[in-house]
Amino acid sequence: MIKTILFAGVATAAFTSLSYAQNDHEHIDDEIIVSGSPIGHPEHESIISASVLTEDEIAARAASTIGELLRREPGVASTFFGPGASRPIIRGIGGDRIRVLDAGIGSIDASSVSDDHAVAVEPAQAKRIEIVRGPASLYYGSSAAGGAVNVFDGRIPDRVPEGNVDGALRIGGATVDDSVEAAGGFDVLVGKIGGASLVFHGEGAYRDAGDYDIPGFAESARLRALEEAEAGGEDGEEEEVFGTVENSNLETKSGAVGASLVFEDGFIGVAVKRSRANYGVPGAHHEEGGEEAEEAEEETVRIDLEQDRIDLMGELNKEFLIFETAKIRFGYADYVHQELEGAEIGTTFNNEGYEGRLELIEKQFGNFRGATGIQFRHRDFSAIGDEAFTPPNVTNQFGAFTVREYETGEWHFQVAGRYEHTSVEAPDIALERSFDTVSVSGGVGVEPADSLFLGVNGFRTERAPAPEELFSDGPHLATNAFEIGDPDLGVETALGVEITLHGEFGPLSATINGFYTDYRDFVALTPNGEEEDGLPVFLFEARDASFRGFEAEAEADLFSLGAFDVLGRAQIDYVRASYAGGGDVPRIPPLRSIIGLEATSPNFDLTGEYEIAAKQNQTAGSELPTDGYQILNFGAVFRPLGEERGLSIRLRAENVTNEEARQHTSFLKDVAPLPGRNISVALQGRF
C-alpha cells in the first residue's frame, strides 16, 4: 500500500519527462488569491500556501457538505459525521483552529463546537472556494490559526451581468442514497439609478437523500472484535447493520435574494439568506426508559437546523488619501438547531452573532505596497437540554492587522502582524476571561526564472482558547465523552515555517509545500481514565505538540488524441503530529495520494481518478487504527451544443469497486464508512 501511494510522487517525474515533448499546450493563468492576504497574488506567486477551486470543479464534485467537497484537495481531510455534517481538516488541524468563511466573514453557526453540527454554507451555490493551508489568523482571527476556507457564492452581485442577465440551473440525482437535488441562481440588471446599475440576485437549493449504501458492515471489523472481546467472546444480541448506514438521511433547502448598486469604481450590496436542514446523526442513539427500565428503547438522534442571515458587502476602487481600494464586509446571523431524540427535543443550540471587517489597500509607493484592516466579532451562544455540555457564553473579539510588501527584481518580501483582544464570559457560572494576542509573520519569495517560484514563510501566532475549551462540563454524545474544560487555560502559541516551491516547465506545473509547526500549550482533549454518566472523561489540557508534513502536486498536458487533449495529475500529502514527551495527536489523516487523467474536447470530457490512503496506526490511546483503502472514480461531461453554449450533462461513477473506506479523521469512522458504489447524473444549464 505505501509503495502504491508513493507512486503518486514518482508520477510527477513521469509527467515531466512526457511533457517536454509536448510544448504546444499553454497553461491557464493562475487564479488570483485574495484570502491569504488583502493584497491579492497569483496562485503561483503566493508565499502562503493557498489554492482555488473554480465553479466547474465545484460542480464536478457535487458534494452535500463543504468538508466532502474539499476532501480530495492536497492537505485537506474532513470530519465526515455522515452526509449532513462534514467540516474541513487542514494539515491535521480542525475545530476552532479552522475558519469556514462566507466571502470573508464567518459562517456564524455552531459547526466548530462539535463535528456533528453542520456548516451553514451551501456548497451547491458556491462559485469559487479559496483554501489557505497554514495560519490564516493574521487576517481572519485566532480561530483561523490552522487555516481557512473562504466560500464565495455571489449572492451579492459585484458586476453587471453580460447581456444584462445570467444564471445557472442544475438538477441531479444519485443511486447510493436515492438522492435528488436542484440548485439555481440568476443575476439581472434591473435598471439605472443615477450613474449606478441596480443588479438583483436570486438563488435557491434543495436536496433530499435517504440512508446511504455501504459495501459491508457499518461497524468496522476492529470495533466488532473489541465488542466481542468485552462481551467475553459471546455474540451480542443486537443485529449488526449491513449494507447501509442507518439514520444517515437528510433534507436541506436554502434560498437567498440580494441586490447591488454597481458603479464604475466598485459596488455596494446587501443580501438576505435562509437555510434549513434536517439530517440524521449516524451512530448516535438516545435510550428512552432509563437504566432501570426493563425494556429501554433506543431512539435515533436527528438535527433540525435553521439560520437566517443578512449580509452587506462593498468595494471602492478609487484613490483617496493614501489608499487605492477599500473593502467592507458585514454579516449578521441568527442560528438555531435542535437535537431531536425520537420525537422529543433533547438539546437546543443557539448562536446569534455578527462580524464585520474593513480592509484598506494602499497605493504603491516605489517598490512598497501595504494594506491595513480591522475586524470585530460578537457571538452569543447557548445550549439548553440533555447535551448542554457548555454553559451559555458570550464572546467579543476585536482585531487589527497590517501587511507590508516590498518587491525588487525577482525578490518579494512580506511582513504582517495582527493584534487581537478577545473576551469570553459565561454568566451562569460567573466566569469571565480576556486575552490579548499578537501574531506576526515574515516571508520571502524569489523568482530565479519566469517559470520558478520559491517562497519561505515564518510565523508566530497566538490563539485564545475557545469557550468550549474553557467552560465545558458535561456529556458530549457526538464525541462519546464527558468533556471538562479548564477555565485557567492560557494563550496557545504556534511557531513554524513553511516552504513552497512552484515550477512551470512547458506543459508541466508542479507545487511542493513543506511545513513544520511547534505548538506551545496546544489545547487537546485528553482522557483521564475515569468515567462520568457512563462516558469516559476527557479533559481539555494544554500540551506541547508538533505538526510536520508536506503536500506535492503536479499537472501536465500529456498528449493529444483526435479532438481530445489528455491531462495528467498526481498529488500526495502527509502529516505527522505528536505530543512533546511522547504520544500521538488523535485523528490525524494518513499518507494519501491521488492520481488522475482527464481528456477534454469541445463536446466531451472524460476523467479517471484513483485515490489511495494508507493505514493509520499512529494513534492516540483512545482510538483504533484504521485500514487503508483504494477508491476508483470516473466521470464524463457531455456538452451537446458545444463549449460556447451552457448546457451540459454530467455523469459520475464513484467508488466503482465498492471499497470499504473509513476516514481516520472522523469520530464515526468505526460506525459509518464512506459511501459505497455510487452513480450520479446532473443536468446543468447556464444562460
> Could you please report the per-residue DSSP string of 37-55?
-SS-EEGGG-SS-EEEE-H
Find the mean pLDDT for residues 435-451: 94
Q: Dig out the grid coordinates for 184 from the structure.
A: 439555481
- Per-residue pLDDT, averaged over 305-327, amounts to 96
Identify the band that residue 206 occupies on the pLDDT scale cut at 50, 70 and 90.
very high
Residue 38: what pLDDT? 81
Average pLDDT over residues 140-145: 91
Q: Which residue segment(s) compose the domain that 157 sits in?
A: 2-686
Which pLDDT score, from 0 to 100, does residue 24 have? 34
Give the mean pLDDT of 553-566. 95
Backbone angles phi, psi at 294, to 5 degrees: -70, -35
So what's the pLDDT on residue 37?
77
Q: Would you say 265 and 158 are in contact if contact means Cβ atoms under 8 Å apart?
A: no
The residue-averaged pLDDT of 551-569 equals: 95
H/E/C letters for each residue in 312-352? EEEEECCCECCEEEEEEEEEEEEEEEEEEECCEEEEEEEEE
What integer pLDDT is reported at residue 10 of this predicted model?
42
In three-state secondary structure terms, 226 is: helix
Where helices occur in 250-317 by DSSP H, the ranges are: none
Residue 489 — φ and ψ, nearest 5°? -60, 145
Confidence of residue 642 (pLDDT cuts 50, 70, 90): confident
Confidence of residue 643 (pLDDT cuts 50, 70, 90): confident
- Cα separation, 157 vs 259, whole angstroms: 7
User: In this structure, are residues 522 and 492 in contact, taking their beta carbons and an 8 Å threshold?
Assistant: yes
User: Confidence class of residue 295 from pLDDT cuts 50, 70 and 90?
Assistant: very low
Confidence class for position 290, pLDDT limits 50, 70, 90 = very low
What number is the average pLDDT over the span 445-460?
A: 93
The pLDDT assigned to 663 comes to 97
Task: Write the pLDDT tens digit of every residue in 227-261.
Answer: 888 887 665 556 789 999 999 999 999 999 999 99
pLDDT value of position 5: 54
Are the C-beta atoms of 336 and 278 separated by less than 8 Å? Answer: no
421 pLDDT above the threshold of 70: yes
CA angle 320, 324, 328 (to 5 degrees): 95
Say if residues 359 and 305 touch (Cβ distance below 8 Å).
no
Instruction: Report the percentage of the chain scoring pLDDT > 70.
Output: 92
Q: Are strands 411-426 and 393-408 parallel, antiparallel or unpaired?
A: antiparallel
Q: How far apart are CA 254 and CA 449, in angstroms?
A: 48
Check whether 77 has a pLDDT greater than 80. yes
Q: What percent of the chain has pLDDT over 90?
A: 77
Give pLDDT, residue 19: 37
The average confidence (pLDDT) of the chain is: 90
Residue type present at position 606: L
Digit-coded pLDDT (tens) for 215-226: 999 999 999 999
Residue 567 grid cell: 491531462
pLDDT at position 285: 57
Select from 142, 108, 96, 150 the least CA-distant residue to 399: 142
Helix (H/G/I), strand (E/B), else coil: 66: helix
CA–CA dist 322, 364 (Å, integer): 9
83-117 burial: b if 16+ Cβ within 10 Å, else e:
bbbbbbbbbbbbbbbbbbbbbbbbbbbbbbbbbbb
Q: Residue 293 above 70 pLDDT?
A: no
Whether the CB-CB separation of 15 and 507 falls below 8 Å is answered with no
Look up cell 453580460; give the residue: 162
- Report the C-alpha gap between 385 and 168 in whole angstroms: 42
Strand partners, 256: 203, 273
- Exposed e or buried b for every residue in 597-627, given b needs 16+ CB within 10 A? ebbbbeeebbbebbbbbbebeebbeebbebb
Quick: pLDDT tens for 269-280.
999 999 999 999
The candidate with the shortest Cα–Cα distance to 481, out of 587, 582, 395, is 587
* CATH number of the CATH domain containing 53: 2.40.170.20
Dist. CA 433–CA 540, nearest whole Å: 16
Per-residue b or e along 415-429, where b marks 16 or more CB atoms closer than 10 Å to that residue's CB: ebbbebebebbbeee
Confidence at residue 9, expressed as pLDDT on a 0 to 100 scale: 46
Instruction: Note the pLDDT tens digit of each residue in 655-673.
Output: 999 999 999 999 999 999 9
Over residues 379-396, the mean pLDDT reads: 92
Which amino acid is present at 48?
I
- Longest CA–CA separation in the chain, Å: 81
User: What is the number of other CB atoms lying within 10 angstroms of the CB of residue 382?
Assistant: 17
The domain tally of the chain equals: 1
Cell 465488542 locates to 227
Residue 20 has pLDDT above 50, yes or no: no
How far is Cα 224 from Cα 600, in angstroms, rounded to an integer? 46
Grade residue 1 by pLDDT with cuts at 50, 70 and 90.
Answer: low
* pLDDT band of 298, cuts 50, 70, 90: low
